[in-house]
């Protein structure tokens, strides 16, 4: 199931997706290593080292991986 409500996030240049969202996940009491990220309507998880800037304008879905 998706985690939480939609939020807009502005990554720093060269920042990885997981690093960009780490703080927000922890604020919600989640362990970042237990969450997978997907582009909306995709069934393939994004790689952990994905550059967040390449996903600009995309809706990213976080799902618990437990």
- pLDDT value of residue 45: 95
Name the residue range of residue 41's domain. 17-64
Kindly report the length of the chain.
Answer: 66
- For the segment 29-54, what is each residue's pLDDT rounded down to a tens digit? 888 889 999 999 999 999 988 999 99
In a domain, 38, yes or no: yes
In a domain, 7, yes or no: no
Q: Does the reported pTM lie above 0.75?
A: yes
Q: How far apart are CA 66 and CA 43, in angstroms?
A: 16
* Residue 15 predicted with pLDDT over 60: yes
The total number of structural domains that make up the chain: 1
Beta bridge partners of 61: 38
- pLDDT value of residue 57: 87
In a domain, 55, yes or no: yes
User: Which pair of tokens denotes residue 58?
Assistant: 């995309």
In a domain, 23, yes or no: yes
Q: How far apart are CA 12 and CA 51, in angstroms?
A: 10
In a domain, 53, yes or no: yes
In a domain, 1, yes or no: no
């Amino acid at each position: 199931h998706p985690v939480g409500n939609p939020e807009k996030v502005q990554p720093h240049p060269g920042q990885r997706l997981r690093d960009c969202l780490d703080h927000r996940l922890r604020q919600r009491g989640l362990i970042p290593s237990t969450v997978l990220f997907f582009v909306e309507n995709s069934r393939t998880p994004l790689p952990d080292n994905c550059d967040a800037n390449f996903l600009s304008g995309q809706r990213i879905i976080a799902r618990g991986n437990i």
